[in-house]
Amino acid sequence: MDQQTQARIASLSDQLHQHNYRYHVLNDPIVSDAEYDRLFRELTELETANPQLALADSPTQRVGSDLSLDFPKAPHPAPILSLANAFDAADLANWEERNLRLLPADTELAYVLQPKLDGLAIVITYENGVLVRAATRGNGELGDDVTANVKTIRSVPLRIPVDRAAAAAPARLVVRGEILFHKESFLELNREQEAQGLPAYVNARNTASGSLKQKDSRETAKRKLTAYIYAIVDSDGAEMSSEWETLQFLRVMGFNVIPEARHCAGLDEVIQTLPDWEARRNALDFEIDGLVLKVDQLALADELGVVGKDPRGAVAYKFPAEEASTKLVGITIGVGRTGKVTPTAQLEPVFIGGVTVSNASLHNYEQVSALDIRLGDRVVVKRSGDVIPYVIGPVTGARDGSESPILPPAACPFCGRELIQPAGAVDWFCSNPKCPERVMRTLEFFVSRGAMDIEGMGPQTIAALIDNGLIEDEADIFNLSAENLLALEGFADKKVENLLQSIERAKSRSFTQVLTSLGIDGIGATVAGLLGDNFASIPELLATAQAIRAAEEDFAEAARPLVDGADDGDPDIGKLLHRLRHPTAELAPRYLDAADLSPRLERLLRPLRLAPGDIAPIQAPLSALIAVSRPLHEIEGLGPILVENIVNFFADPHQQAVIAKMEAAAVNMRAEEKVLASAGLAGQTFVLTGTMSVPRGEIKSLVEANGGKVTGSVSKKTSYVVAGDSPGSKVEKALKSGVPVISESELRALIPG
Ligand code: IVH
């Protein structure tokens, strides 16, 4: 027995050390917090029951640490404590009862209740009102000094009080808070990733942590992090008597205090509001994993003291877990309309946060192999809000050797064609455009709500139409006749009439909907809308894409002698060749503003050791390519990868045929005429940079509503650069090229009315 326990203790210690390191140092955890807690609890229990077996280096002997080697260390003025957990109303009642026993009879406790933010803790020091240091929690006593990075976070005041008319700042104030992404900022970050053709971030908390621990604070500044401040750690000259007063004081100083914080007269009131919080949880701007309940009277909280590393006067109420572990019993393989192959985990059913889950996303095979997820593994699954549950990672300690690796299939399970993995991609694709599964998915997408929205055309109808040879692609839908449909089994007069009517209505969908429905990789409604702002019609966009393809071919022809002779094996040269082979995405956007191409090209191509005169032949084709692709590259919010996707899509003869058929069937191809508030900015082009008084998208709409254009880069055609707070390099560029730089209010003054 002892031996078994000893082995289990060793194994648990080992696993926890690993998880600690992955979480705190690598910022790449493979188990959920709940799973970690479960292992930690098991180890604590075994050690308590068998103190003689506890290891000297047991992870229970210290609190976690997020220290990294990249930052100098900063000591905290007082230990940065953590909180004990409560999971239900009974836990809270017991907690209060234990506290009351330590306090004078007849004590009545009031409380402050606030959301427990799922971010990372930060400790910020102000001396005479000036921010002098910011540190992570670290090991509770010593943190990473991340001052430069925290200073880039706009909700953190660099000087307090922010409002000079407010009370004076204390001589010293050390506050504690939490850094996180607002849900919208995280989505926006992922939209930007997507527009650049980069993989999406999965976990907001880890991304926030990674963002805060950048070595270069300019990288942190690019991420829209937010800080909420909820406590005073230490002070000279800010003596508070209650928690509630503390929050008011922090607010007066100009800190971002969680607006949802509530004062409760007693525990009954707290308990009554719990169901409400759980219901509101998904509607909040930020992710929370529970609530923090603190005794309001600070003198009483002080008297209660600390047990271990947790103050008795506060407790974390954890919402029911949204993560659980279960067995991975199988994999199903899906093929999407682009041919992308996605593995889905089949699970032994498990109850997570109120729902039974038996399938979960595994993202892609690259991720499966990076996380070393194996068939038969016990895996941790997370479910949050409306997103599809996904596998976080395996519980490696639960393996018994019977698990087997998960590999991508050799061929498409639907059509048998070989799968390909494009260079640099994480996904595998079915290479057959006529693959029945791909056709089915394409049509399902085409008729769906966000696309052509054809009512009455569900998966069964689509399958029946394909099986009976009535449609082969999406455009055939518009050539269906009553006669054809009535011949199908189960299609009566009324049904056929309704279906034909909804098909007729779909012909007048907006430009955005029609373009979205084509299913160009990465082009959803937002990007389609941007294209609609800049192109009059789909044929116009198609013509541009075809002109780009033609210019690409001329360029490839001219560049062939350079590419053919080069050594592909050398990594530097390989990178250069990649650029030469993808000039639309890799070269044109870099040289949009170049006054003279030849010195830039010479510098770029130096590693190829060319003879003088070798560069001349590619210069004119590149200029031509830049000119034809400029209308796409200048659209703010459209990254180079998406431009390349657009060109590839429209160059495909199959897609050209589909579009021609749709056009012949009178499907709308035109962008809506914009109704202008004024034409005051007509003919003028603006570049926006820095933070404005409202989101930049709003300023862009304002410019456009008055007839102006907004582009992403400064060129000879730019009329003005509009600079907000902390503008980027665009201002320098403008000054260099003599483009006037104006402020937001100067821009507003240009608008009539
Ligand atoms: S108060 C003495 N309030 O949760 C403890 N903590 O499990 C003071 N947290 O490490 C903490 N939101 O980083 C407090 N509104 C909130 C919080 C909060 C999140 C974090 C904090 C702490 C952990 C405790």
Answer yes or no: is the C-beta of 82 below 6 A from any ligand 1 atom: yes
Answer yes or no: is the C-beta of 123 below 6 A from any ligand 1 atom: no
Query: How far apart are the CA of 250 and the centre of ligand 1, in A?
Result: 16
Cis peptide bond upstream of 161, omega within 30: yes
> Of all atoms in ligand 1, which is nearest to the CA of residue 115?
15
Q: Identify the bridge partners of residue 330 per DSSP, sorted by sequence position.
A: 346
Torsion 685-689-691-697 (CA) sign:
positive
Query: How far apart are the CA of 261 and the centre of ligand 1, in A?
Result: 13
Query: How far apart are the CA of 739 and the centre of ligand 1, in A?
Result: 49
Neighbours of 545 (CB within 10 A): 23
Q: Which domain holds residue 559?
A: 525-664
The verdict on 144 and 264 lying in the same domain is yes
| pLDDT tens-digit map of 228-271 | 999 999 999 889 999 999 999 999 999 999 999 999 999 999 99
The verdict on 500 and 529 lying in the same domain is no
For residues 162 and 154, what is the distance between their CA atoms, to the nearest angstrom? 12
Closest by alpha carbon to 538, among 435, 410, 675, 661? Answer: 661
Judged against a pLDDT cut of 60, whether residue 62 lies above it is answered with no
Answer yes or no: is the C-beta of 114 below 6 A from any ligand 1 atom: yes
362: which DSSP letter? Answer: -
pLDDT of res. 375 = 97
The verdict on 107 and 236 lying in the same domain is yes
For residues 594 and 601, what is the distance between their CA atoms, to the nearest angstrom? 10
Residue 96 lies in a domain: yes
CATH number of the domain encompassing residue 205: 3.30.470.30
Q: Please give the distance of CA 307 from its chain centroid, rounded to a whole number.
A: 38
Q: Which is higher by pLDDT, 516 or 355? A: 516
The verdict on 118 and 199 lying in the same domain is yes
CATH number of the domain encompassing residue 694: 3.40.50.10190
Cite the beta strand spans of 220-275 per DSSP E: 225-236, 262-264
Answer yes or no: is the C-beta of 177 below 6 A from any ligand 1 atom: no
Out of 36-40, 82-86, 561-565, 644-648, give the one with best mean pLDDT: 644-648
Judged against a pLDDT cut of 50, whether residue 311 lies above it is answered with yes
Amino acid type, 289: D
- Supply 662's token pair: 């749709």
Residue 674 lies in a domain: no
Q: Ligand 1: which of 63, 66, 83 to mutate, judged by most atoms within 8 Å of the beta carbon?
A: 83
Last residue within a domain, chosen from 318, 351, 381: 318
| Cβ contacts of 390 within 8 Å, gap of 6 or more | 202, 360, 361, 362, 363, 381, 382
Provide the residue count of the chain.
753
pLDDT of res. 651 = 94
Residue 584 lies in a domain: yes
Last residue within a domain, chosen from 283, 318, 353: 318
Contact call for residues 138 and 200 (beta carbons, < 8 A) = no
For residues 229 and 251, what is the distance between their CA atoms, to the nearest angstrom? 9
Q: Identify the bridge partners of residue 148 per DSSP, sorted by sequence position.
A: none
| pLDDT tens-digit map of 85-101 | 898 899 999 999 999 99
Residue 722 lies in a domain: yes
Query: Residue 168's pLDDT band (boundaries 50, 70, 90)?
Result: confident
Tell the burial category of 433 from Cβ atoms under 10 Å away from its Cβ (0-12, 13-18, 19+). middle
Query: Residue 395's pLDDT band (boundaries 50, 70, 90)?
Result: confident
Residue 204 lies in a domain: yes
Answer yes or no: is the C-beta of 116 below 6 A from any ligand 1 atom: yes
Of the candidate ranges 328-337, 394-403, 656-665, the one whose mean pLDDT is the lowest: 394-403
> Of all atoms in ligand 1, which is nearest to the CA of residue 311?
2
Q: Which is higher by pLDDT, 41 or 170? A: 170
Answer yes or no: is the C-beta of 621 below 6 A from any ligand 1 atom: no
Judged against a pLDDT cut of 60, whether residue 383 lies above it is answered with yes
Answer yes or no: is the C-beta of 178 below 6 A from any ligand 1 atom: yes
Answer yes or no: is the C-beta of 202 below 6 A from any ligand 1 atom: no
Percent of the chain with pLDDT over 70: 97
Q: Residue range 716-741: average pLDDT?
A: 88
Query: Residue 387's pLDDT band (boundaries 50, 70, 90)?
Result: low
Answer yes or no: is the C-beta of 311 below 6 A from any ligand 1 atom: yes
pLDDT of res. 664 = 97
Contact call for residues 498 and 456 (beta carbons, < 8 A) = yes
The verdict on 86 and 167 lying in the same domain is yes
Answer yes or no: is the C-beta of 292 below 6 A from any ligand 1 atom: yes
Answer yes or no: is the C-beta of 63 below 6 A from any ligand 1 atom: no
* 3-state class (DSSP) for residue 700: helix
> Of all atoms in ligand 1, which is nearest to the CA of residue 310?
2
- Tell the residue nearest (CA) to atom 13 of ligand 1: 121
What are the backbone dihedrals phi and psi of residue 610, each rounded to the nearest 5 degrees, phi first? -85, 160
Residue 532 lies in a domain: yes
Answer yes or no: is the C-beta of 209 below 6 A from any ligand 1 atom: no
Mean pLDDT (the chain) is 89
- Supply 231's token pair: 């406590």
> Of all atoms in ligand 1, which is nearest to the CA of residue 114?
15
Amino acid type, 584: T
Percent of the chain with pLDDT over 90: 55
pLDDT of res. 631 = 94
* 3-state class (DSSP) for residue 360: strand
- Tell the residue nearest (CA) to atom 10 of ligand 1: 82
Answer yes or no: is the C-beta of 231 below 6 A from any ligand 1 atom: yes
- Supply 103's token pair: 């306090």
- Supply 164's token pair: 């000079």
Q: Residue range 610-629: average pLDDT?
A: 91
For residues 245 and 532, what is the distance between their CA atoms, to the nearest angstrom? 52
The verdict on 492 and 397 lying in the same domain is no
* 3-state class (DSSP) for residue 83: coil
Residue 550: C-alpha distances to residues 107, 405, 555, 559, 582 (Å) = 83, 45, 9, 14, 13
Contact call for residues 321 and 355 (beta carbons, < 8 A) = no
Total domain count, the chain: 6
Which secondary-structure segment (H or E) carries 380?
A: strand 378-382
Q: Strand 419-420 to strand 429-430: parallel, antiparallel, or no bridges (unpaired)?
A: antiparallel
Answer yes or no: is the C-beta of 66 below 6 A from any ligand 1 atom: no
CATH number of the domain encompassing residue 368: 2.40.50.140
Query: How far apart are the CA of 288 and the centre of ligand 1, in A?
Result: 11
For residues 563 and 520, what is the distance between their CA atoms, to the nearest angstrom? 30
Among residues 73, 116, 224, 309, the one annotated as catalytic is 116
Amino acid type, 580: L
For residues 285 and 288, what is the distance between their CA atoms, to the nearest angstrom? 9
- Tell the residue nearest (CA) to atom 17 of ligand 1: 116
Answer yes or no: is the C-beta of 314 below 6 A from any ligand 1 atom: yes
Answer yes or no: is the C-beta of 244 below 6 A from any ligand 1 atom: no
Query: How far apart are the CA of 567 and the centre of ligand 1, in A?
Result: 56
Query: How far apart are the CA of 116 and the centre of ligand 1, in A?
Result: 6
Query: How far apart are the CA of 87 and the centre of ligand 1, in A?
Result: 16
Q: Strand 120-127 to strand 130-136: parallel, antiparallel, or no bridges (unpaired)?
A: antiparallel
Query: How far apart are the CA of 147 and the centre of ligand 1, in A?
Result: 20
Q: Ligand 1: which of 137, 178, 258 to mutate, judged by most atoms within 8 Å of the beta carbon?
A: 178
- Tell the residue nearest (CA) to atom 14 of ligand 1: 292
Residue 518 lies in a domain: no
Tell the burial category of 199 from Cβ atoms under 10 Å away from its Cβ (0-12, 13-18, 19+). middle
Helix ranges, 696-743 (H): 696-705, 730-736
Per 3-state DSSP, the chain is made up of helix, strand and coil in percentages (nearest 5) of 45, 20, 35
Whether 661 sits among the annotated catalytic residues: the reply is no
Closest by alpha carbon to 545, among 664, 625, 474? Answer: 625
The verdict on 15 and 153 lying in the same domain is no
- Tell the residue nearest (CA) to atom 23 of ligand 1: 82
The verdict on 286 and 239 lying in the same domain is yes
The verdict on 350 and 487 lying in the same domain is no
Query: How far apart are the CA of 177 and the centre of ligand 1, in A?
Result: 8
Closest by alpha carbon to 335, among 410, 426, 430? Answer: 430
Judged against a pLDDT cut of 90, whether residue 33 lies above it is answered with no
Q: Strand 172-181 to strand 225-236: parallel, antiparallel, or no bridges (unpaired)?
A: antiparallel
Last residue within a domain, chosen from 361, 392, 407: 407
The verdict on 586 and 692 lying in the same domain is no
For residues 481 and 17, what is the distance between their CA atoms, to the nearest angstrom? 67
CATH number of the domain encompassing residue 17: 1.10.287.610
507: which DSSP letter? Answer: T
- Tell the residue nearest (CA) to atom 4 of ligand 1: 116
Query: How far apart are the CA of 292 and the centre of ligand 1, in A?
Result: 7
The verdict on 626 and 743 lying in the same domain is no
The verdict on 297 and 217 lying in the same domain is yes
What are the backbone dihedrals phi and psi of residue 380, each rounded to the nearest 5 degrees, phi first? -95, 130
> Of all atoms in ligand 1, which is nearest to the CA of residue 258?
15
Judged against a pLDDT cut of 80, whether residue 384 lies above it is answered with no
Query: How far apart are the CA of 268 and the centre of ligand 1, in A?
Result: 22
Residue 417 lies in a domain: no
